Structure formats: C-alpha cells, structure tokens
C-alpha cells in the first residue's frame, strides 16, 4: 500500500479569524491550522497510468501551502493506492474516513471504485466530490447528495459520437468495445440515447472485456470480423493503447471514436504509436498540452510554470497533469467560498454553488457550473481528431445534459 501525506510548511498564512476551540472540536478533519483531505488513486495495477493525477494533486497542494494555505490552514492531502480494485477502494475509504478522519474525499479515481463507496460516503454524510470519473450517476443529488462528479458525463460524450456518426456517416456499421463495468456501460447507454430507435441499424455488435484481462486482441479481431467500418472504444489507457495498436497491425482502418479519458498523448497515444492513432476522434473539454494552439495561452503558461517548478521530471505530454490542475483549482475555489466554515455541510453547499467558474486549463468557453440540482460541473465538450502530432479541435462546443 502506498500512502502519501502532504503537510508543507513555510508561507505566510492568509488573513482570517482562527477557529474557536469549541467549533474546531465539532468539525471533522479541520483544525485552526489544517484541513485534512483524502484521495484514492490507482498508483499500481491495470490503471496505474492515472497515478499521474494523484502526483499532480500532491504537487498542487504543496504550492497552495507554500502560498499560505486556505484561510490560514495548510492542506494535508492523504492519497492512498487502491490498485484500481474496488474492494481495496472500500478499505482505503474506510481508513480515510474512520481512522484518518479526513474532512472529505476529493477526486478518487475510477467508476467501479467510486461505485463501491458511494453508498458508504452518503450514509456517513462525508463529501465525496469532484470524482475522477465521468459516470453519469455522479449527478444524482436527489439520491446521493454527498457525491458529485467533475468531468463531463460519459453518457453525454457517447451521445455526441452517435449524433456525429448519424450526420457524417449515415451508413456506418458500428462495433463497440467497452469495459465491463459502469464506466463502459455508460457509453452503451449514451450510444442508445444518441442513435435512438436506429441503434440496431447502426450497431452490429457490442464487445466487452474485464479490467483483469491481459489483452483485448481477441475482441479486436472479432470486431473486424463483423464487417464494421466504425468503432467506439470505451477503455482505460492500457487497453485503449492495445486497441489502437491492434487495429493498426491488422491493417484495419475504421472510423475510430475513443473515450476522452484515454486521449492522453503521454499515457496512451505515444505508447500505442503516434502514427497508429491518426484519424481517431475523441472529445475534449481541457486544453491539450501537445497542441501548439496553446503555446502562448495564459492558462497553459500558468500550468507549465507550475509543472516546471513542482514536477520538473514529469511527462508534460500526459493529460493527467492537466486534469489534476483543473480539478484542484476547482476545489480551491470551493474552499475559498467556505470562508471560515469548513463543516462538511458547508463544503457540500459550496461545491454545489459554483457559477461560471473559469479554469485555466479548460477550453475557452467551458466553465464550471453547479447548483443544488446540477451535480454535473462540466457539460461542454468539443470534438477533436488526432493528426499524427497532436489533437486537432474541430466543430463548435457542444453542451450536453448528462441524461
């Protein structure tokens, strides 16, 4: 088990009134000098490529602490490894909540992993916020008021792909590869939403795989055998890279749609082979660090300066670090809105009170908006195509509802 704890020193505290002893005693995870936050990441296992996100979080809050913290309090981030195994996620969540007594969980990664702890977190009434997964169900405040997503819904993303196919490839024959869990199944739901009554006309067959599988080569071969000329891949980085390589090695040239959670150049495209991914379409809501469009962009220059100072050895082509910066920036805004009230109830209230928040690493026009009835902070995306060197944006921003 990996355990990383961040409680940096130095830096003048931001001006604010200290907590009274009586109030401090009633606020779990918060003292007059500290806010304790929990995080769970797959630093090992089949989704270990996402470990970059957790490393980004550690570096980000080190900077926050060096700049004085939040309301005079340093951030103590405790990030634990679950190996992308839901039973381990449950164990780590219980440890963070019951033993470490964190104020809340921030950005734990994985759809099946967060599914395993969603009921627990809500029963405990512990904020479970800005999850690192786009499952549509994280936007259900009626039934799970303590759980909130961050990135766009997978279901909405798949709806966009279906609509694009119907408009631009009306005679397409589609095969779908999906991870056999709530993450992958959200794409099936979205495709069915998008194609509507025409689903069976377009989709020849669905192929699933388990995250414990060694490869998806056999599924790729079977997909080609269907006669499909269009494919949708809903897979985490390891399997997405395998799919890109296998399709290329079979000299198969379908129109290929790839989940945006596996669009990282550093984590997926480069390992697969940049030439093998040419023509793949994905959706974007964040700026791609390999896109020269953002070479002089103020927001990305801010991010690059951060990376140079706090993560100088990291792969700056890995979109996981861009994702981390955006999620952490959102959380800082929530904590600032809390004023001096860091009760769990107020943290959740402020997370659901974000209005047109502009994040440096998100695409122009993409803003963060939440309310008591809107737990989908990001609803806008733009299609993007891999041209052999970078992801090239095309079309307009598309806004979805996530349902």
pLDDT (0 to 100) of residue 376: 95
**34 with 90: CB under 8 angstroms?**
no
Q: pLDDT value at position 238?
A: 96
| pLDDT recorded at residue 399 | 80
Model pLDDT, residue 322: 98
* Residue ranges of the chain whose pLDDT lies below 50: 1-25, 402-403
Does the domain formed by 154-284+383-399 have CATH 3.40.50.2300? yes
pLDDT of residue 229: 98
CATH 3.90.226.10 fits 3-152+295-372, yes or no: no
Residue ranges per structural domain of the chain: 3-152+295-372, 154-284+383-399
User: Are both 3-152+295-372 and 154-284+383-399 of the same fold?
Assistant: yes
pLDDT at 12: 31
pLDDT number for residue 11:
33
Q: What pLDDT, on a 0 to 100 scale, did the predictor assign at position 400?
A: 63
pLDDT of residue 26: 73
pLDDT tens for residues 14-40?
A: 333 344 444 444 799 999 999 999 999
Give the model confidence (pLDDT) of 68-118 as tens digits: 999 999 999 999 999 999 999 999 999 999 999 999 999 999 999 999 999
């Amino acid at each position: 088990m990996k355990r990383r704890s961040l409680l940096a020193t130095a830096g003048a505290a931001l001006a604010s009134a200290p907590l009274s002893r009586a109030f401090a005693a009633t606020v779990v995870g918060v003292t007059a000098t500290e806010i304790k936050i929990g995080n769970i990441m797959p630093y090992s296992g089949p989704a270990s490529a996402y470990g970059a996100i957790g490393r980004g979080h550690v570096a980000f809050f080190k900077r926050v602490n060096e700049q004085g913290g939040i309301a005079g309090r340093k951030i103590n981030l405790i990030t634990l490894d679950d190996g992308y195994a839901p039973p381990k996620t449950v164990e780590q969540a219980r440890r963070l909540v019951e033993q470490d007594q964190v104020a809340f969980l921030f950005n734990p990664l994985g759809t099946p992993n967060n599914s395993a702890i969603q009921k627990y977190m809500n029963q405990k009434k512990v904020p479970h916020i800005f999850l690192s997964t786009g499952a549509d169900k994280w936007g259900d405040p009626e039934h799970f008021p303590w759980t909130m997503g961050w990135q766009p819904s997978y279901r909405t993303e798949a709806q966009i792909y279906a609509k694009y196919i119907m408009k631009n490839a009306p005679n397409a024959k589609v095969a779908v590869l999906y991870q056999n869990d709530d993450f992958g199944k959200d794409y099936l739901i979205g495709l069915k939403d998008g194609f509507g009554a025409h689903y069976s006309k377009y989709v020849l067959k669905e192929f699933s795989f388990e995250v414990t599988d060694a490869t998806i080569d056999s599924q790729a071969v079977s997909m080609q055998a269907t006669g499909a000329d269009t494919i949708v891949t809903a897979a985490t980085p390891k399997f997405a890279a395998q799919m890109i390589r296998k399709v290329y090695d079979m000299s198969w040239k379908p129109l290929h749609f790839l989940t945006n959670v596996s669009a990282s150049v550093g984590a997926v495209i480069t390992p697969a082979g940049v030439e093998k991914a040419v023509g793949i379409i994905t959706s974007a809501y964040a700026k791609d660090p390999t896109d020269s469009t953002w070479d002089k962009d103020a927001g990305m220059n801010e991010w690059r300066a951060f990376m140079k100072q706090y993560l100088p050895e990291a792969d700056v082509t890995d979109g996981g670090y861009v994702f981390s910066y955006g999620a952490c920036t959102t959380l800082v805004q929530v904590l600032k809105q809390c004023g001096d009230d860091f009760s769990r109830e107020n943290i959740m209230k402020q997370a659901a009170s974000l209005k047109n928040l502009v994040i440096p690493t998100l695409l122009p026009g993409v803003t963060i908006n939440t309310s008591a009835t809107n737990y989908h902070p990001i609803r806008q995306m733009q299609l993007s195509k891999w041209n052999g060197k970078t992801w090239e944006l095309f079309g307009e921003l598309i806004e979805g509802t996530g349902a």
